């Protein structure tokens, strides 16, 4: 470590402590890492210490850090036109929308661009309410949909409770066999009972009052709970029966994360609205959006849509989408995520789960996995937060950036991760899980 490098890390931390107000945090005890640069699946500080990024930051850097094609596309667009109002026609914006709808189901040909995932969810809810003339939105308790008013009220975790300022939000339990709310013993029982629970809630709320069912195709922050076969098609049937709009939130799960372009592609279901952000351009420039069915888009052919954003379809974000999706296609990055998950990461995590009593369950697909940690394998009591904090620190100390939530370690490297990088990471997880086993 050089003195200059140490000074830069210290200065970054000093400025952060003095002037940056962090999300979801009590500010006083924060001591964030200083990150200076990155490439692919690796980041480093100013002093040059490298870390394997198995968090993908906010589970969004799907194409890896600093992919040269995407960086060049942003630079080229900045040289031509750095910004333009959303009311104009812009080539990059139109190309980005076309690239996205090309990968969406048939009959979804329009995109409303937003600044990120939360306002994508916000506007999808607005569209569903205006299209149906109804008010209520049903979402899951185990979910996260963002930090704007309707999105955080649709969220199921603790972050909703101090922010309940929006109306018409109803929550249900979704399938989660490891901690079944339905006394289920098999995936089939869990699916059937979760669907019946959803149906009864709609019936009791009054079907004519329900505008939308909003679900993450694969819940992310809530635990990477892959739905059992038949669940999402069953939700689609219930939505059709009662004239309810089905919104699938693909903000975290979409664009390669599960080994599919859209996570729902693996489940034989087509939504009415799709929310996206994160992996669509790996967060290089803030952007998100809603993919809209032709039927819902037609609602606004003669009727004004009462929503808009200054930076909707920002040209730098649009250019980064085009470059990202073209590069993912050309380099087989979605296929890589699927292959790594099936052949390397999934089997490696299953081995760790078999070896370590602290691992209650390993689950996921593609490069979207969770290790659920327990203090007692028989009762499945969750590992307490202090132990998760120690595990996170131990992983960082060994050169791996983790993503942790509640009693889980989420294993979520970029979609470009190699088998060699997974082979480097698995022994680090093994060491830290061994430490946790010894604490039990």
Q: Could you write out the DSSP letters of every residue in 160-200?
A: GGGG---S-EEEE----GGG-SS---SHHHHHHHHHHHHHH
Mean pLDDT of 40-51: 96
Q: Which residue reads 């694969």 in tokens? A: 218
pLDDT surpassing 80 at residue 247: yes
pLDDT band per the 50, 70, 90 thresholds, residue 164: confident
Q: Is the pLDDT of residue 1 over 60?
A: no
What are the pLDDT digits (tens) for 62-113?
A: 999 999 999 999 999 999 999 999 999 999 999 999 999 999 999 999 999 9
* Architecture in CATH for domain 35-66+332-439: Alpha-Beta Complex (3.90)
Question: Which distant-in-sequence residues (6+ apart) come within 8 Å of 18 by Cβ?
Answer: none
At 265, list the tokens: 């592609």
Tell me the pTM.
0.96
**Whose CA is closest to 36, among 67, 61, 13, 69?**
13
Please state which CATH number belongs to domain 68-329.
Answer: 3.40.640.10
- Tell me: pLDDT of 156 over 50: yes
Residue 125: predicted pLDDT? 98
The reported pLDDT for the residue numbered 2 is 46
As a dihedral over the C-alpha atoms of residue 156, residue 158, residue 164, residue 170, rounded to 10 degrees, the angle is 20
* Domain definitions of the chain by residue range: 35-66+332-439, 68-329
- Going by pLDDT thresholds of 50, 70 and 90, the confidence category of residue 398 is very high
Question: Do residues 13 and 47 make contact, with C-beta atoms less than 8 angstroms apart?
Answer: no
């Amino acid at each position: 470590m050089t003195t200059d490098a140490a000074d830069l890390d210290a200065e970054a931390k000093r400025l952060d402590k003095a002037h940056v107000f962090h999300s979801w945090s009590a500010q006083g005890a924060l001591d964030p890492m200083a990150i200076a640069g990155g490439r692919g699946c690796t980041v480093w500080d100013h002093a040059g210490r490298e870390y394997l990024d198995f968090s993908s930051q906010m589970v969004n850097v799907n194409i890896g850090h600093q992919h040269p094609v995407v960086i060049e596309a942003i630079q080229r667009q900045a040289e031509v036109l750095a910004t333009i109002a959303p009311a104009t026609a812009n080539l990059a914006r139109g190309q980005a929308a076309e690239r996205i709808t090309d990968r969406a189901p048939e009959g979804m040909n329009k995109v409303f661009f937003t600044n990120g995932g939360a306002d994508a969810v916000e506007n999808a809810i607005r569209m569903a309410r205006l299209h149906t003339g109804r008010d209520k939105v049903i979402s899951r308790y185990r979910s996260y949909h963002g930090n704007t008013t309707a999105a955080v009220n649709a969220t199921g975790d603790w972050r909703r409770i101090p922010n309940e300022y929006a109306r018409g939000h109803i929550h249900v339990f979704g399938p989660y066999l490891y901690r079944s709310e339905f006394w289920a013993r098999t995936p089939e029982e869990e699916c059937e009972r979760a669907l019946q629970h959803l149906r009864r809630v709609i019936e009791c709320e009054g079907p004519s009052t329900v505008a939308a069912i909003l679900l993450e195709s694969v819940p992310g922050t809530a635990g990477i709970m892959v739905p059992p076969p038949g669940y999402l098609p069953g939700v689609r049937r219930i939505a059709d029966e009662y004239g309810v709009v089905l919104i699938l939130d693909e903000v975290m799960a979409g664009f390669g994360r599960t080994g599919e372009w859209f996570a729902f592609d693996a489940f034989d279901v087509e939504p009415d609205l799709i929310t996206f952000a994160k992996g669509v351009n790996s967060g290089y420039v803030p952007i998100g959006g809603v993919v809209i069915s032709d039927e819902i888009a037609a609602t606004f052919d003669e009727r004004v849509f009462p929503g808009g954003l200054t930076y909707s379809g920002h040209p730098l974000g649009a250019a980064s989408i085009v470059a990202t999706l073209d590069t993912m296609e050309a380099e087989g990055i979605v296929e890589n995520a699927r292959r790594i998950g099936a052949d390397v990461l999934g089997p490696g995590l299953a081995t760790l789960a078999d070896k370590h009593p602290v691992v209650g369950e390993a689950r996921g697909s593609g490069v979207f996995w969770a290790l659920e940690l327990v203090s007692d394998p028989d009762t499945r009591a969750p590992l307490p937060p202090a132990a998760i904090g120690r595990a996170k620190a131990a992983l960082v100390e060994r050169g791996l950036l983790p993503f942790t939530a509640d009693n889980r370690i989420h294993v979520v490297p970029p979609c470009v991760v190699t088998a060699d990088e997974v082979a480097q990471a698995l022994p680090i997880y093994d060491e830290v899980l061994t430490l946790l086993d010894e604490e039990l």
